[in-house]
Amino acid sequence: MRELLSEADRLGVKVMYRKLDGKDGYYDPQADQIRIDPRLSLAQKRSALAHELGHAYYRHDCSTEIAEAQAWKRGSGLAVHPDEYMAAAMVYDSTQLIARELALTSKIVGEWERSWLPRLMRAPIFLERYGSYMINTASS
Ligand SMILES: [Zn+2]
């Protein structure tokens, strides 16, 4: 949560907890505010905040399919740390269990697996650190 809140600071966006109807979170570009529903679980709050920070990064002022996709991609990159993901992935073999371990929703971890994991798997530093693990799991 702390890393997400520092990203909000960097973007100059205030994070507030407000009961929202039918939404987990909301980004208001006019007020430079993100509102998160306080009734959510920690995993839902963290995931919603990361997603809304994605909207804030692009200063989205409406919700289109493209804006949503950008917010999920950027947000998942903020929420999921590669080392924490890999530590969880060495123990758990489903997105749902990895998400639970990371205190995030399956939706945002699934997005990270689609958007960021394939790129990381081509990065030399990532291969150096986790290459032998990935070869072992691929052959098992
Ligand atoms: Zn959205």
What per-residue confidence (pLDDT) applies to 138? 54
Spacing, Cα 26 to ligand 1 middle (Å): 7
Single out the residue of 15, 51, 50, 10 nearest to residue 31, CA to CA. 15
8 in Cβ contact with 56 (< 8 Å): yes
- Predicted structure pTM score: 0.90
Spacing, Cα 42 to ligand 1 middle (Å): 18
Domains in the chain: how many in total?
1
Residue 124 domain boundaries: 2-139
| Structure token pair of residue 140 | 């098992």
Helix (H, G, I), strand (E, B), or coil: what is residue 17? strand
Spacing, Cα 62 to ligand 1 middle (Å): 9
For the chain (140 residues), the mean pLDDT of every run of 10, in chain order, is 93 97 95 97 97 98 95 98 94 96 98 95 86 62
Q: What is the CATH number of the domain that holds 94?
A: 3.30.2010
Spacing, Cα 8 to ligand 1 middle (Å): 16
